[in-house]
């Protein structure tokens, strides 16, 4: 059974085959621990809908960066599936997902992600600090961007990505 799935950059030009692939990922159920769909911005809405009512209770790490750049169709379904992991989720990357609608976050119960260690929401327009606190139960989450800054500063550099 599937434990770690890395489909990063697989659906960038078009979403051909995405429905079948997401059906297989959805069926992984309790065995899935890591999911990487980074830069899969061409997955069509109907493919994301396959994840509605999906349960991934063992999921620990998710990367959906740049999946929702054109529109947010399907974001609710995938975030609900990710939410099924509850406090087991420790890493969530949503960088560049500027089209995730506020309603997608609103469907997730309070304190669902209380053990997140890293959460990157840079570019996600519809989430603010209050909503993040609601979803994490006020847990101190160190965002990836902050971790990169701290690492860079310790090495004597300034802004991450700059000399």
For residues 23 and 27, what is the distance between their CA atoms, to the nearest angstrom? 6
Closest CA to 97 of 74, 64, 128: 64
Return the bridge partners of 34, or none: 4, 61
- Average per-residue pLDDT for the chain: 88
Least confident span in 114-123, 126-135, 145-154: 145-154
For residues 122 and 79, what is the distance between their CA atoms, to the nearest angstrom? 16
For residue 123, with 0-12 CB atoms within 10 Å meaning exposed, 13-18 middle and 19 or more buried, which class applies?
A: middle
Q: What is the pLDDT of residue 87?
A: 96
| Number of residues assigned to the chain | 163
Residue 7 has pLDDT above 90, yes or no: yes
Q: What is the pLDDT of residue 139?
A: 78
Q: What is the pLDDT of residue 148?
A: 47
Closest CA to 73 of 46, 39, 102: 46
Q: What is the pLDDT of residue 162?
A: 40
141 pLDDT band, cuts 50/70/90, is confident
* Residue with the larger pLDDT of the pair 22 and 147: 22
Residue 76 has pLDDT above 50, yes or no: yes
Residue 108 has pLDDT above 50, yes or no: yes
Q: What is the pLDDT of residue 19?
A: 98
Residue 147 has pLDDT above 50, yes or no: no
Q: What is the pLDDT of residue 155?
A: 53
Q: Work out the average pLDDT over 110-116.
A: 94
pTM of the full predicted structure? 0.86
Q: What is the pLDDT of residue 142?
A: 63
Residue 25: DSSP 8-state: H
Query: Between β-strands 34-36 and 61-63, what pairing exists: parallel, antiparallel or unpaired?
Result: parallel
For residues 119 and 135, what is the distance between their CA atoms, to the nearest angstrom? 11
Q: Work out the average pLDDT over 91-110.
A: 96
């Amino acid at each position: 059974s599937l434990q770690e799935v890395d489909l990063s950059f697989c659906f960038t030009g078009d979403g051909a085959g995405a429905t079948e692939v997401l059906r297989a990922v959805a069926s992984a159920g309790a065995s899935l621990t890591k999911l990487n769909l980074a830069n899969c911005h061409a997955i069509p809405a109907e493919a994301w809908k396959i994840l509605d009512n999906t349960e991934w209770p063992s999921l620990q790490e998710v990367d959906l960066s740049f999946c929702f750049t054109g529109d947010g169709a399907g974001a609710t379904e995938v975030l609900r599936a990710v939410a099924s992991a509850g406090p087991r989720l420790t890493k969530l990357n949503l960088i560049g997902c500027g089209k995730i609608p506020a309603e997608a976050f609103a469907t997730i119960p309070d304190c669902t992600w209380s053990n997140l260690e890293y959460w990157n929401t840079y570019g996600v327009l519809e989430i603010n600090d209050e909503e993040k606190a609601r979803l994490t139960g006020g847990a101190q989450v160190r965002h990836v961007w902050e971790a990169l800054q701290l690492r860079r500063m310790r090495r004597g550099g300034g802004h991450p990505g700059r000399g």
